[in-house]
Amino acid sequence: MNRNSSLTYYPEIDGLRALAVLPVLLFHAGFGFPGGFAGVDVFFVISGFLIGSVIVKEVAAGQFSLLSFWIRRIRRLLPAWALVVLVTSLAASFWLVPPHLKNFGEALFYQPIPAANIYYWNQTGYFETASDLQPLLHTWSLALEEQFYILLPIFLIPTLKLGRKFTLIAWLIVLAVSLAVSIYYSARHPGFAFFMLPSRIWELGIGVILAMMTTRGFTSRKRNELGALLGIGMIVAGYFLLDHNSLFPSYTAALPCVGTGLFLYTSGGGATMVGRLLSRREFVWVGKISYPLYLWHWPAIVFLRYNWIEEPPVWLMNLMLGAVFLLAWLTWKFVESPIRSRRIATSNGALLKLAAATGITILMFGFVFDRFEGFPSRYPEEVNRLAAGLPLADEPSTPPESIYCIRQWQKQGGPCLLGETEKPKARLLVWGDSHALMMADVIDQQGTANQIEVVFAAEAGIAPVPNTFPAGRGPKALPVSETVEKWLTNESVEGVLFIAKWPMYLYGRNDGKVDRLLSTTENRATLPKDAIRHFNDHFRPLVRQLESRGIKVWVMRTVAYQPRRVPETLAQIARRGKDLNLLALPVSVHRKKDKPTNDVLDSALANTDVRMLDPIPFFVDDSGTYLMAKNRNGLYSDDNHLSAYGASLLAPMIDEAFKELVK
């Protein structure tokens, strides 16, 4: 996203910036372009080309200075970024409910470093619903670029002294390694692949390789025309062929990245028809303001959706985008350009003082927001209670303190026991993941009421399916299920209840990640069909083995996923004084979404005596709405785990199963 004054100015590159930023805006605003997020990848290639060109040119002339290089980067990046972050912080202090403001404060600590990409990698996925609540999420790409700027001179300058040919070969090796990392981690750890530099170097590196070429373009004008047209075609195709379910960045990012490289290679100085088209003043104007436009658009969209709560009408989103263009132009005209041209902060010392003051101010905002827990005193008690996921005073709020997970069995001297442990009438194994953990309190209570000893075997993120593991965790997760299997072999029980987040293991996460698909040592699943096959191969035999021993088996279907995190959403709704179930969906919508998973379960368990437990009817009102809240209590602790109060509503379902066990 950078252009240096020591380089020849090519207007078509500003036009290419316009072609990169507009799809990003339209994608985030919900106006089509399912792969519009790939515009960021176009920026990466442009950045690599321009910054690489600066270094190569100045090293060749013996004029490169690391200090001057960074001063130019600060002048280019600091002004607009600082303004947007500070204004966003002020807006956040008015609009975000306490948990969101506290999280925003944590994110601010990573802004000046720069390490925003590391923070968001650890917090959330780019396509997850929670990303809509991160007003500075988009700064991950700026942090990644700045990390690249730190490393590039360190690597490029010494190798250039050994010759461009050597540097080109070395850089091609780096690109190949980075692409391999991107492909590997996109399938196994997609968050790392998306946000972190190792899997993105190859994208910026395409531009660096172009910068090292002494000449660009084919000798034939016709080939250049075709090459430029193909390059732009690849970029545009990426905007429509890619979507949030695509394995990305991986090899799929080659579509926009290679296309950008091909255009830059063939279109220098408006040498092609496409280059001249992008040199038109309309494209160039958007390209010139593309950096502040990118910075302003995301917090504006987040705050609009946050305050509207429901999806804003098209006219309002269009109005907001118009305001973003105005803000971007004003920022470019009165903040960015004056500092870049030294009309403001004329000396390097003044610039560094401004940078230091900005960084300290941002850190102070972060400290205050985090230290004071998002200032809950701004809102009524009910808003704060709902935001924290707390129930009313007389309702259940916490699981039993004695709960521990499967990995702790050995340390604790045996499995976790709930219910009636002194003189039980029967013994039940509850085997599951975090969805079982959310049921611990009600299972404990019903176990006690029905005089059942409950052996509680749960481990978050690991399905109760023998000889399998989540794709992203690898075979190191196998001992979890092996521990339970070994226990089952040596102990007797009258029943087994399986509770798990089945859709995640069979079809992937809500945001399309496949890092939890059921895998085996012979086959790491990357597609749902692989995970379904592993489920059938390993879960069905387990159930039949249990039934052959006279053990009764229950399987609980997954509670429905809510469209967004419930506690904070309820707080937002309560802040506006609206019905807490304003965003709750009809049960028919959830049933349709859950059908593929339920079909797999039903097929796998056909011709068995398994009792299926369906939690969904317990959360549906008379109008057929699947609730987010009941009796002023939130039913979920996030978007898929029940709150303690929500789990308590399933007591009749668990009670019926337990009574059947002790007949």
- CATH number of the CATH domain containing 437: 3.40.50.1110
Residues 52 and 157 grouped into a single domain: yes
Percent of the chain exceeding pLDDT 90 equals 84
| Rounded distance between C-alpha atoms, residue 180 and residue 177, angstroms | 5
| pLDDT at residue 152 greater than cutoff 70 | yes
Mean pLDDT of 598-607: 96
226 burial type by CB count under 10 A (0-12 exposed, 13-18 middle, 19+ buried): middle
Q: Does residue 385 fall inside a structural domain?
A: no
The residue behind tokens 């379960």 is 601
Q: Does residue 394 fall inside a structural domain?
A: no
- Condensed to tens digits (0 to 9), the pLDDT of residues 422-466 reads 999 999 999 999 999 999 999 999 999 999 999 999 999 999 999
Query: Measuring CA to CA, which residue among 586, 579, 583 is closest to residue 632?
Result: 579
Tell me, what DSSP letter sits at residue 471?
T
255 burial type by CB count under 10 A (0-12 exposed, 13-18 middle, 19+ buried): buried
Mean pLDDT of 529-539: 96
Of 359, 378, 397, the one marking the end of a domain is: 378
Residues 632 and 588 grouped into a single domain: yes
The residue behind tokens 């086959």 is 523
| pLDDT at residue 3 greater than cutoff 50 | no
Q: For residue 125, what pLDDT is reported?
A: 59
Three-state SS at 451: coil
Residues 434 and 365 grouped into a single domain: no
Mean pLDDT of 411-427: 94
Residues 364 and 429 grouped into a single domain: no
Residues 319 and 417 grouped into a single domain: no
Res. 632 pLDDT band, cuts 50 70 90:
very high
Q: For residue 398, what pLDDT is reported?
A: 53
Go through the chain and tell me how many residues it has. 663
Contact 611, 602 (CB under 8 A): no
Residues 324 and 214 grouped into a single domain: yes
Contact 345, 336 (CB under 8 A): no
| Rounded distance between C-alpha atoms, residue 649 and residue 628, angstroms | 13
Q: For residue 1, what pLDDT is reported?
A: 38
Q: What are phi and psi of 633, to 5 degrees?
A: -115, 135
Residues 95 and 201 grouped into a single domain: yes
**Helix 348-371 / helix 66-95 crossing angle, nearest 10 deg:** 30
Q: For residue 400, what pLDDT is reported?
A: 61
Residues 420 and 362 grouped into a single domain: no
Q: For residue 647, what pLDDT is reported?
A: 96
For the ranges 213-217, 510-514, 600-604, the lowest mean pLDDT is seen at: 510-514
| pLDDT at residue 204 greater than cutoff 60 | yes
Q: Does residue 167 fall inside a structural domain?
A: yes
Indicate the residue type of 244: H
Indicate the residue type of 388: A
- Condensed to tens digits (0 to 9), the pLDDT of residues 637-660 reads 999 999 999 999 999 999 999 999
Mean pLDDT of 339-367: 93
**What distances in angstroms separate CA 581 from CA 111, 364, 560, 625, one per listed residue?**
36, 37, 15, 9
- Condensed to tens digits (0 to 9), the pLDDT of residues 220-256 reads 999 999 999 999 999 999 999 999 889 899 999 999 9
Q: Does residue 1 fall inside a structural domain?
A: no
Residues 276 and 354 grouped into a single domain: yes
Encoding tokens for residue 409? 């069995």
- Condensed to tens digits (0 to 9), the pLDDT of residues 94-121 reads 999 999 999 999 999 999 999 999 999 9
Q: Is residue 190 reached through a cis peptide bond, with omega within 30 degrees of 0 on the bond before it?
A: no
Neighbouring residues of 168: CB distance < 8 A, sequence distance ≥ 6: 209, 212
CA dihedral 408, 642, 553, 426 (to 10 degrees): 70
Mean pLDDT of 28-34: 94
| Rounded distance between C-alpha atoms, residue 620 and residue 346, angstroms | 65
The mean predicted confidence, pLDDT, of the chain is 93
| Rounded distance between C-alpha atoms, residue 544 and residue 609, angstroms | 9
Contact 41, 309 (CB under 8 A): no
Three-state SS at 7: coil
Of 378, 394, 415, the one marking the end of a domain is: 378
Q: Does residue 397 fall inside a structural domain?
A: no
Which helix (H) or strand (E) covers residue 499, if one does? strand 495-499
Q: For residue 389, what pLDDT is reported?
A: 86
> What pTM value is reported for the model?
0.85
For the ranges 22-26, 76-80, 158-162, 184-188, the lowest mean pLDDT is seen at: 184-188
User: What is the DSSP track for 272-288?
Assistant: SHHHHHHTSHHHHHHHH
| Rounded distance between C-alpha atoms, residue 605 and residue 66, angstroms | 66
Tell me, what DSSP letter sits at residue 240?
H
Q: Does residue 505 fall inside a structural domain?
A: yes
Residues 344 and 452 grouped into a single domain: no
Q: For residue 5, what pLDDT is reported?
A: 40
Residue 480 structural domain: 406-661
Q: For residue 47, what pLDDT is reported?
A: 97
Count: domains in the chain? 2
Of residues 458 and 564, the one with the higher pLDDT is 458
Q: Does residue 610 fall inside a structural domain?
A: yes
Contact 420, 452 (CB under 8 A): yes
User: What is the DSSP track for 389-443?
Assistant: T---TTS--S--TT---GGGHHHHTS-EEEE--SS-SEEEEEEESHHHHTTHHHH
| pLDDT at residue 395 greater than cutoff 80 | no
| pLDDT at residue 323 greater than cutoff 90 | yes
Encoding tokens for residue 268? 């220098």
Query: Measuring CA to CA, which residue among 610, 446, 602, 452 is closest to residue 532?
Result: 602
Residues 434 and 506 grouped into a single domain: yes
| Rounded distance between C-alpha atoms, residue 66 and residue 150, angstroms | 10
Contact 195, 219 (CB under 8 A): no
Res. 2 pLDDT band, cuts 50 70 90:
very low
Neighbouring residues of 614: CB distance < 8 A, sequence distance ≥ 6: 556, 557, 653
5 burial type by CB count under 10 A (0-12 exposed, 13-18 middle, 19+ buried): exposed
Residues 353 and 421 grouped into a single domain: no
Q: Does residue 435 fall inside a structural domain?
A: yes
